[in-house]
Structure 1
């Protein structure tokens, strides 16, 4: 059996608190989430992080794991390079399963053997779900597939796949957790199952940036729209709106649409605002007519954009 260093996987010390472990896990799982990560090993890394967190976030599993780690530090190695667990590690379960078992499975079985005669509520589980910004405005139902390690009646680890339909309520924000009651790990001795906590993540979108409930949208405008002002139609996450561009606007000008950010999710918070960041877009000079118009502007406007720099 090959020893796995779960503390190193999460980048925390062996003395790390529960909060430090949770923060490290959340940071790394965001980085390597397959929906957003460009790392070639994102799937494998996410699996490793989930496995490490499943052990270190549970007091009993962590204690059993630390017991194994202590034995490792005191000569628990076999001549072939493998790792020899403590003498009582295999009590009450089959230790001769060879390659059919792995480190994670043996750790579960070791803990499970101690739990079989106990009535205990199931553990809570952690996962993440990526949604579009529009989902936060309108609400949605998303289907997720989870592969969850569970203990069978003989305290052996089996992996079961579950499909859940998750309702995304209006007004969710990035980092918020949705609690799915009874969808966590099953209880033992007839006790109730734990809960599943889904952390909300927004899918990457080049047009929007989100800060809390406030949303920032880059809006291209033509030079004449910026210079002369006027009404323009702007698509937003909540639908198309008419916006008045003030005359003499420049790139970077910010227009605030109050209450057009992520909607409130309850009476205790208010809707965010939508900020439109104007960006002057130049027509391409890809025809004779377009080039002639640019040349006419150069002659008649006598405009020097570098005058303020002394150019």
Structure 2
């Protein structure tokens, strides 16, 4: 397996934030859902995820840097050294085996170290819970707002079905109990920890549980008032625009936000891109009955 630092394109002294940022960019680019039918992207995504799993775990990263494990997380064969090797070095006392050692003492030592748990007859049958596995999952804005089910493809080809609860925010972590690394002996498996990244939406933005939508309206709709269809995270609704509405005015749609929040529609007056001779002629000859200076609050004249 290639060097995980090279796979993510980071330096060996990269910070945790730099590793996380590099992973998210690469994972988004090579995710199988965004590259259907492309085996290269799938293989690349698996390698990227595996590299991130290793480097985002401080203990695994330290062991890899020391050469104790390889890029897949597997143990590297270590040179076996005995007390004799150290005892026979110059300037040290000679190592001597103690033939009076009682094997039961070994069980006692391990029993004290592990609180008598997971041992049966000395050092046999060691049981321990598996490690938690950490993944990231990118979900759409509407899926995070309303809830959804998504399938996460793991580096080894397995999949996890993930339930996205309504109202989930970017950066939150979902826990899938028992879906992590396998345990030792009879120990239970660890959990899968899935950090969710919520994608941006082209016209919705979130403020707590409220949703903000900037809605373009014509000059005629703003002046005369109108009833228009407005998108919300739960589907389109009808909205009444009052007469003489100004740009920047906010209209509230109660309960149309996220998890009981509201949606606020901010009006933006849009003028036609093509010339309108009649409108130009009217405005040139039009004198308002009530003088109005929209820049008065700025000290303008």
Tell whether the structures are fold-level matches, with TM greater than 0.5: yes
* 2:198 alignment counterpart: 202
Aligned partners of 2:133 and 2:193 also within 8 Å: yes
* 2:269 alignment counterpart: 280
Q: Secondary structure at the match of 2:71?
A: helix
Report the CA distance between 1:122 and its aligned residue: 2.0
Aligned partners of 2:143 and 2:164 also within 8 Å: yes
1:21-100 alignment, distance < 5 Å:
21=16, 23-34=17-28, 50-58=49-57, 60-68=59-67
Residues 1:223 and 2:252 aligned together: no
Aligned partners of 1:34 and 1:43 also within 8 Å: no
Residue in structure 1 matching 2:144, options 122, 129, 136: 136
Q: How far apart, in 2, do the equivalents of 1:47 and 1:180 lie? A: 20
Aligned partners of 1:213 and 1:262 also within 8 Å: yes
Aligned partners of 1:120 and 1:189 also within 8 Å: yes
* 1:301 alignment counterpart: 286
Aligned partners of 1:122 and 1:192 also within 8 Å: yes
Report the CA distance between 1:142 and its aligned residue: 1.9
Q: Secondary structure at the match of 1:104?
A: coil
Report the CA distance between 1:59 and its aligned residue: 5.6
* 1:86 alignment counterpart: none
Residues 1:186 and 2:182 aligned together: yes
Report the CA distance between 1:231 and its aligned residue: 3.2
CA gap 1:236/1:123 in 2 versus in 1, 3 angstroms: same
Report the CA distance between 1:274 and its aligned residue: 1.8
* 1:109 alignment counterpart: 75
**More displaced 10-residue stretch of structure 1: 243-252 or 272-281:** 243-252
TM-score by length of structure 2 reads: 0.63
Q: Which has the higher contact order (CA 8 A, sep 6+)?
A: 1
CA gap 1:3/1:177 in 2 versus in 1, 3 angstroms: closer
Report the CA distance between 1:225 and its aligned residue: 1.6
Structure 2: segments with no counterpart, 5+ residues? 32-40, 79-123
Q: How far apart, in 1, do the equivalents of 2:176 and 2:126 lie? A: 25
Residue in structure 2 matching 1:242, options 216, 220, 238: 238
Q: How far apart, in 1, do the equivalents of 2:5 and 2:160 lie? A: 32
Q: How far apart, in 1, do the equivalents of 2:147 and 2:26 lie? A: 26
Q: Secondary structure at the match of 1:236?
A: coil
Report the CA distance between 1:195 and its aligned residue: 1.4
Report the CA distance between 1:104 and its aligned residue: 0.3
Q: Secondary structure at the match of 2:162?
A: strand
* 2:95 alignment counterpart: none
Report the CA distance between 1:29 and its aligned residue: 3.5
Report the CA distance between 1:297 and its aligned residue: 2.6
Aligned length in residues: 242
**More displaced 10-residue stretch of structure 1: 27-36 or 136-145:** 27-36
RMSD in angstroms over aligned alpha carbons? 4.1
**More displaced 10-residue stretch of structure 1: 244-253 or 52-61:** 52-61
Residues 1:125 and 2:133 aligned together: yes
Report the CA distance between 1:43 and its aligned residue: 8.6
